[in-house]
Each structure stands twice: as C-alpha cells, then as structure tokens.
Amino acid sequence: MIIKRRGPFAPGNQVQLTDEKGRSHRLVLTAGRSFHTHRGSIAHDDLIGAEEGSVVRASGGMLYVALRPLLADYTVSMSRGATVVYPKDAAQIVGLADIFPGAGVLEAGAGSGALSCWLLRAVGAEGRLVSYERRADFADVARANVEGYFGGPHPAWSLLIADLPADTAPPDDREQPAANDFDRIVFDLLAPWDHVAGAARWLVPGGLICSYVATTTQLSRVVEALREHGGFTEPTAWESIHRGWHVEGLAVRPEHRMVGHTGFLVTARRLAHGVTAPPRRRRPAKGSQGAAQPESATTAGAGAAGGAGGAGGADRADNLRISEYKRVTTRACWTIRWVMSNDATARPDRIGGKITLEAGARLRNDRA
C-alpha cells in the first residue's frame, strides 16, 4: 500500500522541518517521541493531527515550518550505498525519456534507489519497473529507501540482485529479460555499450533507451555503439546545469553556488525490427578536414601540376601562419594596453605567454 501524501500529519508520515535559517531536518512521526536539536526539542505529538504547512516552536524558541518532503528533498538526504542520481538529472530522465503512466521500464543499476523512486512515481501502480542491481548491499539500501518513501513495497517494482545480461549472453539465459517487453530502458552502468544489442531485443519498436554516464569517454563509446548497431535513431546527448538566483527587491543576481556537471544523458529510439537507420548527413569536423588536406594537396600537386602544386600548398600554409600570428599579436597588444592603463609598474614582456618582447617595447615607447 502506498502511503497518502495529503491531509493532516499521521503517525508514520515523513515530515521535513525547516528552521528560520533554511536548515532542514527530516523525521518519521511516532507517537510519544520527540525530535531534538541544539535549539531545543519538538514533540511528535505536537505535529500529529496538524495540517501540512503548520509552524511549530521548539522548546528553545526556534520556529520550524512542517511540510512533507518533496521527492527531490528525500533523494538528496536518503541513506546511500552508491551515489544517487540528483534531482536535476532524474527530472530530465523522467521528462525527456518520456516515462509515462503504465509504462514498462527496465532499470539497470538501482544503486541507492533514488532514480527508482522517480521512475515508480512516473509509471504509477499500473506500470512496471524492473531494476537490476549486482551488489546485494546496494540492493538492500535501495529497497529500504524506496519503501521508506512510499510507505511500503511498491506494487509495480521488481528488484533483481543480478548482473544485467551482456550482449554475449545466450538468448535462453534465465536472467535474460523478455524480448519486446519494455517501453523504456534506463542504464546507469559503467559500460552501457555492452548492452546495446540486448536493449534492442528488449525494447518494443518505438521504445526509448536512456543512458546516464559520468565521463566524456563513456559518452563517446555509448553514442558510437548505438550508431554502430544501426537499430536506433541518431542518439541525442546533453547535460544539465542547475543554477539558482538570488531575488531580493532589485538585487537580482545568480547564486554563488550551483549544481554543475553530474553526468551526461544519451537517448535514442528503437526502430522497427529489420529496419536499419538511414545514414546521417552531418558536416565533417574541422579536425578531420585538416588532417586530410595535406595528403590531398600533396597528391594533387604531384600528379597534376608537379612542383607548382606543392609550392601553392606551402604558400597557403605560410599565409595561414601569418594570419594566425597577426590575430594573436593584435589580441596581445590590446591585452598589454589594458594592463598598462591599470598598472603603471606592469612589464609588457611578462604579460602572457604569447606576447613578444618587440610588441612590449613598442607599446612602452608609445606610452612614453
């Protein structure tokens, strides 16, 4: 049974107490008990039966606002075995991976159960979430956190303590998920590229795979694995950065703290069975063009115009180097002018690694 999250506080409900300085404390209401802080104690009986949003006073005089914790508050303060998926990323997964009520979702890497809570609330009691976790200690933490949030076992959740079968596992493996059985697959794994072919079997046509990775190396490998498989649409990759704002009258500015990089997200849609993704038309990177240019220029010069073609290529390279030198020198001169206008003792020949002694001496003479 899923606990009700509205109405007056009752025994067993979770309550978040926030003091006048914005510090929060989470507790589970139990009749006859008290919550103690350095500002005094609060009797649980004073909260039981009170409406959500009430203000209570501790024995030391501090005022606290009593509210049920949001899922975002719960997940960042829950007990941890593995690192939790932060709310900014969990919200992106639920929204942009289109986790809908009644969906069948496969989660690989339950960790501490933070993302499982978000997915279960999205699919609802009519949906289905199958979570794989290879470590029994992490699975115990995840189960306790999920049941702590929902007030008991969730009817739509199955937690399996096992490795997700790799692409090399035989199709008749007992731990192998059923084919065409899931609408969405969410990977929070070290090497999700080892399960791309399996995800293609387990997803229904039109289903979506979402992979959460931490590093650019992982990002590159999983995207290239999806492209190489051919049974998915062109992958989409992104990260989200969360920055709060301070608003007080006309003093409106960004907060000094922010939640920066936590991970990358990659999504792709499953194509129909037997269908291969058409080749994606994309402009080649400048680096690849630059690497191929000398060979093509040398070949053209040697085959068609002999030494003249090679000389033309060398002239073009010289012109590029001269243009780059002028750009760097111009920028360096502006940097020196700005520094010397603010610091009379500054030595131009020591400002920046790319500034030449001649440029510094010329500007010093101009200033004199």
With contact defined as beta carbons under 8 Å apart, do 59 and 41 qualify? yes
**pLDDT below 50 — which residues of the chain?**
290-310, 352-354
CA dist 159 and 143 (Å) reads 8
CATH 3.10.330.20: does it fit domain 14-69? yes
Considering the domain 73-269 in this protein, what is its CATH number? 3.40.50.150
Q: How buried is 244 (Cβ within 10 angstroms: 0-12 exposed, 13-18 middle, 19+ buried)?
A: exposed
Which pair of tokens denotes residue 157? 């959740």
Which pair of tokens denotes residue 166? 């790799």
Looking at residue 5, its pLDDT comes to 81
Query: pLDDT tens digits for 123-147?
Result: 999 999 999 999 999 999 999 999 9
Helical segments of the chain, H only: 44-47, 71-77, 87-96, 114-123, 136-150, 196-202, 216-229, 286-300, 307-342, 357-367
Looking at residue 168, its pLDDT comes to 62
Radius of gyration over every alpha carbon of the chain, rounded to an integer in angstroms? 30
Query: Where along the chain do its domains lie?
Result: 14-69, 73-269, 288-367
Which pair of tokens denotes residue 8? 């007056």
Looking at residue 172, its pLDDT comes to 61
| Maximum CA extent, the chain | 96
Planar angle of CA 251, 91, 182, nearest 5 degrees: 170
Looking at residue 132, its pLDDT comes to 96
DSSP line for 23-49: -EEEEE--TT-EEEETTEEEEHHHHTT
CA dist 207 and 77 (Å) reads 32
Q: Please state at what angle helix 357-367 crosses helix 307-342, rounded to 10 degrees.
A: 40
Which pair of tokens denotes residue 195? 């399960």
CA dist 115 and 142 (Å) reads 10
